[in-house]
Amino acid sequence: MNYKLIIYLIFSLFLLSCEQSLNKKSNKIDIKIENRYKNSGFALIYNENLSNIKRLEKRSLNIFHKSLKRKSIVKITNPENGKYLIAEVKSNRIKFSNFYNSILSERIAEELELDQSEPFIEIVLVSKNSTFIAKKTKMFEEEKSVAEKAPVDGIQINDLNAKESKKKKIKDKKFNYSIKVADFYYKESAQMMIDRIKKEASIKKINIKRLSETKFRVLIGPFNDIKTLKDSFEKMKFFDFENLEILKNA
């Protein structure tokens, strides 16, 4: 028996250069986030038909999040067009599917021009002491004040031609998303994670993407429709990842 190989494989598990680490006392996988919280995935756009969800004002610049503290300031970006804005976490106690990385107000969705059928966003926690937030805080407070005082319906001037062109672009887009599990220092460690996921979550569509000599990414997918993507994402609940991400065209 090759004991050196066995020792190497065991030891490599403790040297993972990844964003997730296994807790020995449970199935929980903790996240080691570099510098600040960052997540890409699908948002849930609030509407009155959402049952058992606390009301989120239509014109607000607020979001619901599961892990970020209340009153945290975040930068929300639409990767499709590069548009972004500053928002505030109103609550982290609202219960909603883990598939969504947040619940957004209708105003935020409109400002970012999100595709309602595919509201893919990136959320980054912004330090209140950073240069970025120092420049944006005044604008954010002014926008927030206007939003709170504005009529619910507001006044809008619609460009019908622009809407038509947007609809055509949305139809032409190809749905291609993958679930990022983690990045590993050793390929053997990444393979061990794949074997575990296949065994314990019964997910077969999973692979390793080599990013560099010392970085191997485990990806589930790709998926060409949101239903199968969501089903696989829900299966990952067993591992209790805190910051599972969804990547586009990974």
CATH number at residue 197: 3.30.70
Indicate the number of domains in the chain.
Answer: 2
Same domain as 149, residue 79: yes
Same domain as 98, residue 16: no
Q: What is the pLDDT of residue 132?
A: 54
Same domain as 232, residue 155: no
Mean pLDDT of the chain: 79
DSSP 1-51: --HHHHHHHHHHHTT--SSEEE-TTSS-EEE--SSS-EEEEEEEE--TT-T
118 contacts: CB under 8 Å, gap ≥ 6: 42, 170, 173, 175, 226
Same domain as 118, residue 81: yes
CA 29 to chain centre: 17
Quick check: is 1 in a domain? no
Most confident of 136-140, 159-163, 186-190: 186-190
pTM, two decimal places: 0.70
**Which of 172, 204, 230 is the endpoint of a domain?**
172
The amino acid sitting at 52 is N
Sign, CA torsion 41/36/46/139: negative
The CATH number of the domain where 134 resides is what?
A: 2.40.40.10
Show the domain range for 197. 9-34+175-248
The residue among 43, 122, 130 whose CA lies nearest residue 82 is 122
Distance CA 78, CA 103 (A): 14
Q: Tell me: pLDDT of 17 over 80.
A: no
Q: What is the pLDDT of residue 216?
A: 96
